Amino acid sequence: MKLITWNSAGRFAETASFLFAENPDIAIIQECLKSTVSSVKPVGYEALWFGDERSKGIAVFCKSPFRIGQIASQTHKWKWVIPIHVTGPEKFTLIAVWSCPPKSSIPAYIKLIREAVDANEDWFQDGPVIMAGDFNSNLMWDKPRSENHKNLVEKLAQLGLESVFHSRLRVSQGKEIKHHTFLRYWKKAQKTHEQWSNGETFHIDYIFVPQEWLSRIDHFEIGDCTRWGVHSDHLPLLASFKGAE
């Protein structure tokens, strides 16, 4: 199974063919319009979209023989922390994430995700869970408060989840010095390898999987900035998993 999560920076209409050339089984796309998702119909894929009709949202695509369906939620407060049933060759719960900028009473970035996890632990009680997307967070920004990146990672570990990147590359949270996924001020930058290497970059996108899935990782990479960085201020995370024995 091949999974990709990517914030398309509102350019999904221009980049869909580029993304699907990677032939993912599951694709989680942040910052895309519903109209764009409706117009993109790659052969063999179905899609779910979540967001406000007039603004960008998050889409989840899956390729046959996988199937996806939203899990009923008790609240819409965490509208972009979305639980989804995935069935097919693998059966698991996918929690698709786009931690959006704070608005009015919506809690900030990592607090939003942590509140969603704390309020919905039942999501983690019905088989394997993959949680993936744009978290807009990193341990390097933590302040001494209860809702911070470190505590979310610890909470997910208690629920049996580990970051694919950090486990695979044996890098500590907050120490992803050269392994960036986001370039701040991308629109003002010349989209070259030099800009991505020397610009203001951060690691804010993640794939968390069950600890027992770590041995099943067949391939993992952060998309190359010379290919993906011309399309978005985020680089995708791509992970492939061997079938369960």
Which domains are present in the chain? Answer: 2-241 (3.60.10.10)
Residue with tokens 């290497």: 197
pLDDT in tens, 114-170: 888 998 889 999 899 999 999 998 998 887 766 789 999 999 999 999 999 999 888
Specify the pairing of strand 92-98 against strand 217-222.
Answer: unpaired
User: How many H-runs (helices) and E-runs (strands) does the chain carry?
Assistant: 7, 14
pLDDT in tens, 194-241: 565 556 788 999 999 999 999 999 999 999 888 888 888 899 999 999
Is a pLDDT exceeding 50 seen at residue 242?
yes
Residue 204's SS3 state is coil
Q: How far apart are CA 116 and CA 192, in angstroms?
A: 37
Spatial neighbors of 102 by CB under 8 A, at least 6 apart, are 108, 109, 112
Report H helices in the chain.
12-20, 34-39, 109-119, 149-158, 164-169, 193-198, 225-228
The reported pLDDT for the residue numbered 35 is 87
Q: Which two tokens stand for residue 74?
A: 């008790």
Q: How far apart are CA 96 and CA 228, in angstroms?
A: 21
Q: Looking at residue 105, what DSSP letter applies?
A: T
Is a pLDDT exceeding 80 seen at residue 190?
no
109-119 vs 149-158: helix crossing angle, rounded to 10: 20
pTM over 0.75: yes
Q: Is the dihedral of CA 195, 174, 177, 164 positive or negative?
A: negative
Is a pLDDT exceeding 60 seen at residue 104?
no
